[in-house]
Homo-oligomer: A and B are copies of this chain.
Amino acid sequence: MKQHECSISFCDKCAFETNSVFKYLTRDEIERLNYEKDFRLYKRGDILYNEGNRISGFYCINSGIIKVFKTGIDGKEQIIRFARRGEIIAYRSVLSNESACTSAKVVEDCQVCFIPSELLIQFVKNNPAFSFEMIKLTCHELAEANSYITDIAQKTVRERLAEVLIQLVKDFGIDDQKYLRISLTREELANIVGTATESVIRLLSEFKTDKLIELNGRRIKVLDVKGLNKISNIII
């Protein structure tokens, strides 16, 4: 878990570029944020915090990708969500003043800002507009979580894998060669879907046979989003 100090663009610039919740802070508040934040670099595999940790602040991601997960039976990870540029993690534990109920690990090398707990609490308590946005953010995550519960409970692994691929396309996009802009190990994919690594491998190669995707090691080329949608049985 290496950390390096270095400089980064001011928070106000970043907040507007990324459309983050910090957009709703006042000029003074964002100055304080800028002053008190701690800029850090992390490499793939680094852990930001672990389930059960009492944490003294939360993180805003400037670049890179973080996975947020819970650890279940015999250490198997269940990935809850990914966080990328402009998104914040660990704010839940700060706000409810509980120890972390998830862990966070770097998927793609990251630049993040660490922000002390007190600051978030003060902003929430003093700035109603910001507070309202935080509520919306949390509500949004809650809606997603509920819908994921329904999916996992009712859909087959095949349907869920197709859905996860579509979701990854929506969240991270594809490059000009149609390659997904996030690359995960088979095990990580399995830990999103909630299945065994071998099942992911088999299903991916089925999708490949059906010309829905192409595989190049860890890189996935998405050929037929409509086809995947059909498989995933998305409820509108």
Contacts and interface: CB of A to CB of B under 8 A. Distances in A.
Interface of A: 70-73, 76, 78, 80, 92, 95-96, 98, 101-102, 124-126, 128-129, 131-132, 134-136, 138-143, 145-155, 194-195, 233, 235
B132 A125 contact: yes
Contacts of A138: 135, 138-139, 142
A143 B96 contact: yes
Given A72-B150, A78-B149, A96-B140, 11 more contacts: A72-B153, A72-B235, A73-B154, A73-B233, A78-B153, A101-B146, A126-B128, A128-B128, A138-B139, A145-B145, A152-B194
A122 B216 CA distance: 53
Q: Which of A92, A124, A135, A153 has the most C-beta atoms of chain B within 10 angstroms of its own C-beta?
A: A153
Contact of A131 (B128, B149, B150): B128
Contacts of A76: 154
Given A128-B131, A138-B139, A146 B145 contact: yes
How many copies altogether?
2
A149 B80 contact: yes
A209 to B, nearest CB: 25
Contacts of A101: 143, 146-147
A135 B124 contact: yes
Nearest to A160: B153
Given A135-B135, A139-B95, A70 B147 contact: yes
Given A125-B128, A135-B134, A150 B92 contact: no
B70 A146 contact: yes
7 contacts: A72-B155, A72-B235, A80-B150, A128-B131, A135-B135, A135-B138, A153-B195
Nearest to A78: B150
A127 to B, nearest CB: 9
A194 B95 contact: no
